[in-house]
Structures are given as C-alpha cells and as structure tokens.
Structure 1
Amino acid sequence: MAKCFLTILLLVVSPFGMAQQWHTLAAMPQAVQEIYPAVHQGRIYVAGGLSDDLPLSEQQMTNLVQIYDPATNSWALGPALPEPRHHAYLVSVQEQLFLFGGFVVENGGRWSASSDVLLLDEQSHSWRKIASLPQPLTETTAAVLQGKVHLVSGRSPQGAENAQWRDQQDVNWHWIFDPQTLQVTEAAAVAEAFNSATAVALNAQFYLIGGRQVNGGNLAVLQRFDLTTGVWQALAPMPQAQGGLAAAVLDKQIWVFGGEYFNEGGGVYSQVWRYDPPTDSWQQQAYMPLPRHGLGAVSLNDAIYLIGGATAVGLKATSAVLEKFSR
C-alpha cells in the first residue's frame, strides 16, 4: 500500500534574516491529528490518532500505524494497534519501539485514559502489551535520556470516572521507564500540572516547552531537567504561550512549531520559534506554510519533519500533510 508523490520545494527567504527550505512530501494515507510520532530504524512511525475524516461510528479515531520511508518518499502501513488510540506517545529506544498510554474507547467513551505500555514485536509483526504505567497517562511528553524514557506532565483520571475528556485532570508527574526491566520509577516532578506541552532531549537534558492547563489556558514556560543534579530549572519563557505544539532539534537548537488557542474564537499558531540553549534566548525564525496544531515533529537526516495535525482549532480540518524543514 506504499504510494509515491512528487516533492514540492518551497524556498523561503525569511523576514527574520535566514533562508529556509520547506519541502512538501508524500501525504499520509490517513490524515490524523493528536499524534506523537517517532523515528525508528531510519523511518518515521505514526500510530493512531483522531481525524474528522473518519466516521462517528468509528469514534473518529484509528488503529492504523503509518510508516514513512525518507529514502523513497513513500508511506506504508505497518502492524495495526490492538485498538484505535489517540494522544498515545511513540518512543524508539534501544532498537525497540514502545507506545505509552493515550486514549482508547472504554467505559462508554472515547476519552478513556490508558496505562498501557505496548511494544512492537517486529518478528510477529504485531503489538503486545508488555507493561503498565503506575496510572493512566495521556497528552504527556517524552524523551530519551541515557537509554531510558522520561515521561513528564499530561492528564489522568481525577476520580473513578474514566470515559470522557472532562474526567481527566492535569498532572505534574515525572516518570522514568527502563526498557530493560520494564519498570517505572518516579523522578522530580515539575512545579505545575499541565498537558499538551512538547519536549526534546538535547545534550543529555530534558527540555519541556509550552503546554496548557484545563482551567488556565496556554503556557509559555520552558523548563530543563538535568540528570546530573536531578533538578528542574526554569529558563527563558517562550515569547508566546502555546499548547498543542511540537518541537524538534536541528543544529543543536530547539525549533518549535504550531499549536492552538481557544480565546477570541480560537485559531492555530503560524510562528516558528528557535531556542538557543547557550544564550537562553528565543527568536522567531519563520512562519509555517501550513499552520497546524496536534501535529508531530521529528528530527531526521539534518532536517525536521512535520507530520499531520489540523489547520483549524479542535477536531476538524485534519491534515495528511508531511513537510520537511531545513536550513
């Protein structure tokens, strides 16, 4: 089911003094948003997601695993998840591909938070549950430090009910998953509880960026966790508070894309921000050709790939676009 498409190259001379290249690549077979993709063995994996292209009878969610091969600019379908799932986090670590949490259809709703840890069994071409998180966890962030997966912030059920979006509350948890022992340990929590942030690992440190609170709106915070000290440090905040955004590393700097806001009728952010760790400073670098929220971003082959998302706030205008951003 692989498909190939022509690549469209857009060379942008940025008003901020730097030229960027935006390549529009092969579109995904299925448009999805609220995804957390991963690079695994040189290819990009996207698991599950929400889409207004999907019928209400299927809860507008999918179990598809879509795999992009940059060598051929084509997509193929991989082993499907055991059930449709959205807001689930994919992480490749120690040559294995794991999926953490997310929302599934249970208890009479499609917003039932899961504690599942799934592993892609590449021998049998299937996913299997190999562990459970201490509590259900969704809309979290993740990054790999020294061969272990750090999961920070997100949402989890606030009581016995676990079926609807309103059943979930923000959390400030910081868990470390060991892919060898399949055990989860606690680490220093962040100061505030929030969800829908983004995160990257850079120089063996965990950077946690933006996000939002159920009752407080978007956040501009930037925090860094140092493995050596085990302490979180507040850094220069983003120039603009954003939730539902994505980030990736390019040229040893952090690049941040997209997100959504709900005030004044709501909308999607178009700015591209660059954070420079040595100077602890932010600068706008560009505008996205197609602004989106709920998108994924991964670093691969000296470029950043921006995947899916939605061009309008909420569960509508879901996109199948794949773009490559480089300098």
Structure 2
Amino acid sequence: MASHRIGARVAGLSPEQLCAIIEAQAGASDAALRVAEEHAARLVEQPEWVLSEVLLSPDLAPHILAQLPTKAHAVNGTCRAWRRGWKETLKKRERPRMLVIGGRNNEILNSLERYDASTNEWEGEAVAPMLTAHTIACMAVLDSKLYAVGGFGPDGAPSNLVERYDLATNAWEVVAPMATPRENHAMAVLDGKLYAVGGFNNDGALSSVERYDPAANAWEAVAQMATARCNFAVAVLDGKLYAVGGYSGDFLSSVVRYDPALDAWEAVAPMAVRRIAFGVAVLDGKLYAVGGENVDDNSLSSAERYDPALDAWETVAPMAEARQYHAVAVLDGKLYAVGGQGAGYNTLSSVEQYDPALDAWEAVVPMATARAFPLALV
C-alpha cells in the first residue's frame, strides 16, 4: 500500500525529483522499485539530463531498464553505466562455481569452500554445526536446501535422522526422519523428491528405498532393488535413477535403473570394474564412475562412462591420483574429482578436472582443507 501512495504522489515530479526519491528510498526496496518501474521512461526523457551522480543500486537498474525499449538504454552515459553494472553483476552471479561442504579429516568438518572455475580459486566459510551429531551422513540438495540424511547417530548406531540446512540463513532444522536407519547409503533428487537408496544398518546391507516429499514433510517406501547394496553411488540420467556398484557381501560392478513412472527397477550393463567408495556424475548425457576402491583394497584412479543409448560402458582416461570417498561434480562442461582418501588412506585436498573433449585430467588448485566424504554441488 505504501508503494502505491508513493507512486501517486510523485506522478507530477521532474526526473531529477523522481531520481532523488529513488535514491532516498534505496533502503526500502519495494517503494524504490515501484517508483523506478512506473516512471522509468521519464527518467531518461531528457537527453541533456546527466544521471551519473545518482547512486542507483545495481538491483534497481535492471528494473528501470526493463521498462524501456532497447534503443533507449543508451540515451545517456548513466544508462550505459547502469547496463554495464547490471551485466557485471549478472556475470558474477553466473560464474560457474562449485560448493564443497562437510566431510571429515581428523574430525567432522563444519565448513564449506567455493571454487570459481573462471579464476581457479577457492574461498571458504564456516557452516553452523548440525543440531544433532551424526557422522558420515549422506547429503543432497533439494529446492536450494541441503539435506543431511542418516549416517551414524550420537550413539554410534545407524540413524534415520534427517536435518535440513539453509545456506541463506546458515541454520539447520530437523525434518521428518526416514522409516529405516541407514548408513553408507546413497541419495539423489528426482522429480522434486529426495531418494534414500540402500545402505547398511544392524540388519545388514539394504535393498529398500524411500523418498521424501518436502511439501508433505514425509517419507514413503518405493520399489526396492533386487540386490542389497551399500557404499555405492547414485545419479539421475534422463529422468531415471541409477544405482551403481557398491558392496553386498562382495564388491559389485552391477548397475540398476529406477523408473519413477513405473515404480520399478531394471538391470542395465555392468561396469568394467567393481567399485565401492567412488563418485558418479552425469556429463553430456553420459554417466561417469570415477575412482573408488576395488576388491583388492586398492584405491582406484580409473574412470569409465555409461552411454544409455548403447547400454554400454567405456573406459576413459584415469586420474593422476587414485582416490576414494571423494566427491564428483560437473562444472562448466568439465568433470571434477574433489578430495577423498588417497592410496595410503591419507585425506586429500587435491582436485582434478576432466575435459571430455580431450579425454584428459589435469590438476587444479587444491582446497584449503583436506576432506574425505565431502559433498560437491554446483
């Protein structure tokens, strides 16, 4: 209501007076936006009027420019400056960045680091600790919120606890728990729902699957896998959920695919290498499996990718450094392998980048903190 009254009151003012009101209202964004949007054309109707002394915020500039024909954007130097400032702001917001959160070193890590691919630099900040200590929780992002699901609870037993973290407020909240306690499970987001797949608890390896609906704050069971598995990886490709490798009394190379429309799993081509503790990601319509550990307890540097059109895996270039319990993510058309544990089970800060066009890996700047079991997201 206040913004409507302001708009009516300024209808007869000069462009200079309009701009003064916008500047004065900079702290009250609704009012400033109302004035800026309704009177944008009048603000540039006088070419001789120099607006360059007006302290218009970058957030207000696009609202003014959006009301004008494109040819009017260059009426004067200030509009050009506003446009440049707006573009620079958008460029900064659109820079490809990767967020790496949590994990463990000699202790559980409540911190995150952001990687800027355009500058090859990391920056870090503290993250509020979870409300209840649970280690090696499985993490995923849904609707811009980070979910920490299961893992080991305060008593050291597998947990069904679920907490949700808001990066904007740096705060955690408890949401509905899973029906089944799980650790060493895998998480993915599909069609706006969060899936918790397999894992391990006091009953052994799990084949069960449940999904979380944030609107209902509730979990429901869905079709279970034919084979129980833990310490595996999941990814979403072409609207299907893939569960890859893992352990079920033996190391697995098998891969199964879930169709939410049918609520059913089916087997697809297995990997060439049996793996646990590896990372997966989807790049250019193909599913990559990177690193991990094999049946001989060796950390792996090898990588392979799955083509759903051919239902076949092919080997790609290996990483320079073997790693397991690492994170894998896609950023700006490249695949990143982040942190983890090396061949001697030492925790790594190193990061490698894979270019599919070259079929080659290269090292990029390492994280400030060595991390195993991290989550990487873009």
What TM-score do the two structures reach when normalised by structure 1?
A: 0.75
- Confirm whether residue 292 of structure 1 aligns to residue 359 of structure 2: no
What aligned pairs does 1:200-279 form with structure 2 within 5 A after superposition? 200-261=281-342, 263=344, 266-279=345-358
Q: Distance in 2 between matches of 1:8 and 1:176?
A: 34
Q: RCO (CA 8 Å, sep 6+): is it higher in 1 or 2?
A: 1
- Mapped to 1, the partners of 2:114 and 2:368 lie a distance apart of 11
Residues 86, 102 of structure 1: 8 Å contact kept: yes
Work out whether residues 299 and 343 of structure 2, in 8 Å CA contact, stay in contact via their aligned partners in 1.
Answer: no
Query: 1:188 maps to what in 2?
Result: 269
Aligned partner of 2:185 among 73, 88, 101: 88
Question: Could you tell me which amino acid in structure 2 is paired with residue 97 of structure 1?
Answer: L
Q: Which amino acid aligns with 1:282?
A: W
Secondary structure of the corresponding residue to residue 244 of structure 1: coil
Is 1:38 aligned with 2:140?
A: yes
Q: Counterpart of 1:139 in 2: which secondary structure? A: coil
Q: Match of 1:149?
A: 241
| Per-residue deviation, 1:123 | 5.4
How do residues 24-173 of structure 1 correspond to structure 2 at under 5 angstroms?
A: 24-50=126-152, 54-56=154-156, 59=157, 61-106=158-203, 112-122=204-214, 124-156=216-248, 168-173=249-254
Q: As a proportion of its length, which structure holds more strand?
A: 1
CA contact 1:33–1:294 (8 Å) conserved in 2: no
Aligned-pair CA distance for 1:71: 2.8
Q: Closer, same or farther in 2 for the Cα pair 1:290/1:31, shift >3 Å?
A: farther
**Structure 1 position 286, deviation (Å):** 2.0
CA drift at 1:13: 11
One-letter code of the match for 1:155?
A: Y
Q: Distance in 2 between matches of 1:177 and 1:152?
A: 11
Q: CA deviation at 1:242?
A: 0.8
Q: Is 2:123 the partner of 1:21?
A: yes
In 2, the alpha carbon distance for the partners of 1:194 and 1:176 equals 17
Give deviations 1:66-90, integer Å, cap 9, x for gaps. 2122232322111112243111111
CA distance in 1, matches of 2:144, 2:213: 17
Task: Give the superposed CA RMSD.
Answer: 2.6
Bigger Rg, structure 1 or 2: 2
Provide structure 2 residue ranges, at least 5 long, that are not aligned to the other structure.
1-109
Amino acid of the residue matched to residue 78 of structure 1?
V
Distance 1:13-1:66 versus aligned 2 partners, 3 A rule: closer
| Secondary structure in structure 2 of the residue aligned to 1:206 | strand
Distance 2:120 2:214 in 1: 42
Q: Call closer, same or farther: CA 1:12–1:36 in 2, change over 3 Å.
A: closer
1:265-324 CA distance string (max 9 Å, x none): x4211211111222222111122222121222222xxxxxxxxxxxxxxxxxxxxxxxxx
Q: Is residue 276 of structure 2 the alignment partner of residue 174 of structure 1?
A: no
- 1:191 and 1:33 map into 2 onto residues whose CA distance is 31
Larger % of helix: which? 2
Q: Which moved more, 1:30-39 or 1:84-93?
A: 30-39
Q: Residues 81-133 of structure 1: CA distance to partner in whole angstroms, max 9, x if unpaired?
A: 22431111111111222111001122xxxxx1000010214455332222210
Percent identity over paired residues: 27
Letter in 1 for 2:241: V
Call closer, same or farther: CA 1:248–1:24 in 2, change over 3 Å.
farther
In structure 2, what is the equivalent of residue 314 of structure 1?
none
Distance, in Å, in 2 between the alignment partners of 1:80 and 1:239 is 40
